[in-house]
């Protein structure tokens, strides 16, 4: 068995994207966007006060930032493009067409950012005196601006995916980019990045300073103040952001916070998130007023909480916009809203290329249903892995209780009771084929490998199979 492929097929498409995207955000926000401004300020303070030990400390932190952002950050950034193009080509293709010039500018800014990262770290020890030290600090300032600019551009695209604003009317880049979520999300992400940068640098300080030293005391106090400064605007940004999220998406929060199994206590989970933020604030206050009381173990708590909150925010943001991948434009299965009437009339198989059959017959019912599953369901569901169809229907009807008539009614109307699910896109015959495949899945519990492991047969041109 090829374990990597087996693993990817079992975690599912949405989990694959989520793992890579959340890991990228972990690197991008606290380290690239937030921590580079912080170490630049540390370097400036060391230069201003003539403190070589502060300068050395800032250099050591920058070394970690350099290694992580140019390895994990770069790989996950490429990974996002690769996985989204593979799993949701229609979605990423639409965003590229809408935001072509924005993404073109972002790539220029990103390449400039990478060059500045290299220059900033590799010249630190050479540009350490006189005018060159000022130039080096200027490179740090420029790097901080470019790192933020990269995020500022991407935020426009992320906001559009949740709220398209007036774009459906004029379809202009300006209205798409400056959507209603742009400003509040930019404030929220910027302040969160700067706040969590403090948590990350806090944690690193205890590897680069001596216990009980004056340098550690000063560094902890500085980073504590830095973290506290960004808490109030972060709260403002969070509240503003939440209040402009469309109501339909806010109603998905009970499921998005965890899973359906835990939606009854999502309010309690919200209190846990508030408690986590409170723990970060309390630790920062202690670090500011009594820095000698802070130790590495204690700092591990806000560090983990901050990263956890960031990851959970990304998970919720991805889920609440369901059933869309692009709000009011494209469903999460990659089918545009305006194309649904065509598929309901002709069927999705009739317009598909990489399927075994373009029409449903009595002879190919199960195989055609498998193709329908791949088109309509596999963006979010697996057969027997994470978010599997077997588990879902067992939870609904119990093992062995899958009645085809009941299943048909459920799938046809599921969008009404579970608004985060896209409507079924195919015609009646394809619905019957899908149910036949699911019933076969109930009996055989077949693991369905994706195209990456064995390929999908291409239907012959002019397929003469007749619809029954």
Of 295, 316, 331, which residue sits at a domain end? 331
Of 316, 331, 346, which residue sits at a domain end? 331
Residue 289 lies in a domain: yes
Q: Where are the alpha helices (DSSP H) in 29-178?
A: 36-48, 52-68, 74-87, 89-98, 100-122, 130-162, 167-170, 173-177
Same domain, residue pair 225 and 352? no
Same domain, residue pair 142 and 31? yes
Q: How far, rounded to the nearest angstrom, does the alpha carbon of residue 198 sit from its chain's CA centroid? A: 22
Cβ-proximal residues to 460 (8 Å cutoff; 6+ apart), any chain: none
Residue 4 lies in a domain: no
Residue 467 lies in a domain: no
Euclidean distance between CA atoms 380 and 321, whole angstroms:
13
Compute CA distances 380 → 8, 13, 16, 51, 331, whole Å: 13, 6, 10, 54, 11
Residue 430 lies in a domain: yes
Same domain, residue pair 288 and 372? no
Residue 1 lies in a domain: no
Same domain, residue pair 294 and 375? no
Same domain, residue pair 27 and 135? yes
Of the pLDDT bands very low, low, confident and very high (cuts 50, 70, 90), residue 257 is: very low
Compute CA distances 152 → 127, 238, 245, 429, whole Å: 30, 16, 18, 47
Lowest mean pLDDT among 16-25, 305-314, 325-334, 375-384: 305-314
Residue 200 lies in a domain: yes
Parent domain of 423: 337-454
Same domain, residue pair 285 and 161? yes
Of 274, 299, 331, which residue sits at a domain end? 331
For residues 366, 368, 370, 374, the Cα torsion angle rounded to the nearest 10 degrees is -170
- Regarding pTM above 0.85, the answer is no
CATH code (residue 420): 1.10.760
**pLDDT for residue 349:** 93
Question: What is the per-residue pLDDT across 118-138, written as a single tens digit (0 to 9) for each?
Answer: 999 999 999 988 999 999 999
Euclidean distance between CA atoms 158 and 169, whole angstroms:
19
Stated as kind and residue range, the H or E segment containing 345 is helix 340-346
Same domain, residue pair 153 and 83? yes
Question: What is the per-residue pLDDT across 73-97, written as a single tens digit (0 to 9) for each?
Answer: 888 988 888 888 877 888 888 899 9
Compute CA distances 88 → 143, 201, 212, 266, whole Å: 32, 36, 53, 30
- Percent of the chain, pLDDT > 90? 45
Compute CA distances 61 → 46, 145, 219, whole Å: 14, 19, 12
The answer to whether 202 and 287 have CB atoms below 8 angstroms apart is yes
**pLDDT for residue 177:** 95
The answer to whether 343 and 375 have CB atoms below 8 angstroms apart is no
Same domain, residue pair 315 and 359? no
Compute CA distances 218 → 51, 212, 283, 320, whole Å: 12, 11, 16, 42
**pLDDT mean over 294-320:** 76
Euclidean distance between CA atoms 132 and 273, whole angstroms:
45
Residue 466 lies in a domain: no
Same domain, residue pair 324 and 347? no
DSSP letter at 290?
-
Residue 468 lies in a domain: no
Of the pLDDT bands very low, low, confident and very high (cuts 50, 70, 90), residue 67 is: very high
Same domain, residue pair 114 and 28? yes
Same domain, residue pair 283 and 137? yes
**pLDDT for residue 122:** 96
Same domain, residue pair 291 and 407? no
Question: What is the per-residue pLDDT across 394-426, written as a single tens digit (0 to 9) for each?
Answer: 888 888 778 999 999 999 988 887 888 899 999
**How many structural domains compose the chain?**
2
């Amino acid at each position: 068995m090829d374990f990597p492929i087996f693993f990817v097929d079992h975690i599912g498409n949405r989990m694959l994207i989520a793992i890579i995207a959340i890991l990228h955000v972990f690197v991008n926000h606290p380290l690239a966007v937030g921590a580079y401004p912080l170490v630049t300020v540390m370097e400036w303070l060391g230069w201003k006060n003539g403190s070589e030990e502060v300068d050395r400390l800032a250099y050591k932190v920058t070394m970690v930032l350099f290694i992580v952002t140019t390895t994990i950050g770069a790989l996950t950034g490429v990974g996002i493009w690769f996985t989204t193009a593979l799993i949701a080509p229609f979605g990423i293709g639409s965003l590229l067409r809408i935001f072509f010039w924005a993404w073109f500018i972002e790539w220029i800014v990103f390449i400039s950012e990478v060059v500045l990262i290299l220059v900033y770290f590799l010249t630190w020890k050479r540009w350490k005196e006189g005018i060159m030290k000022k130039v080096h600090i200027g490179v740090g300032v420029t790097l901080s601006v470019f790192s933020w600019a990269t995020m500022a551009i991407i935020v426009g695209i992320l906001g559009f995916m949740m709220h398209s604003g007036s774009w459906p009317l004029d379809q202009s880049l300006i209205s798409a980019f400056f959507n209603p979520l742009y400003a509040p999300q930019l404030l929220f992400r910027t302040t969160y990045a700067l706040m969590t940068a403090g948590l990350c640098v806090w944690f690193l300080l205890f590897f680069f300073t001596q216990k009980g030293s004056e340098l550690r005391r000063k560094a902890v106090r500085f980073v504590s103040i830095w973290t506290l400064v960004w808490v109030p605007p972060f709260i403002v940004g969070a509240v503003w952001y939440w209040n402009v999220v469309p109501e339909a998406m806010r109603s998905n929060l009970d499921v998005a916070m965890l899973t359906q199994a835990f939606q009854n206590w999502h309010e309690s989970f919200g209190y846990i998130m508030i408690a986590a933020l409170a723990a970060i604030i309390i630790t920062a206050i202690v670090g500011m007023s009594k820095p000698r009381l802070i130790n590495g173990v204690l700092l591990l708590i806000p560090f983990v909480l901050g990263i956890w909150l960031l990851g959970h925010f990304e998970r919720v943001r991805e889920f609440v916009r369901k059933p869309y991948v692009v709000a009011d434009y494209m469903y999460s299965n990659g089918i545009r809203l305006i194309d649904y009437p065509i598929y309901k009339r002709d069927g999705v198989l009739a317009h598909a290329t990489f399927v075994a059959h373009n029409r449903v017959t009595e002879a190919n019912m199960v195989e055609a249903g498998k193709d329908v599953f791949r088109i309509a369901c596999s963006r979010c569901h697996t057969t027997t892995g994470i978010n599997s169809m077997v588990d879902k229907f067992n939870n609904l009807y119990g093992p062995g209780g899958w009645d085809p008539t009941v299943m048909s009614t459920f799938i046809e109307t599921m969008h009404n009771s579970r608004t985060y699910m896209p409507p079924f896109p195919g015609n009646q015959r394809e619905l019957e084929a899908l149910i036949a495949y699911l019933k076969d899945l109930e009996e055989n519990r077949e693991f369905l490998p994706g195209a990456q492991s064995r390929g999908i047969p291409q239907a012959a041109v002019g397929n003469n199979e007749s619809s029954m």
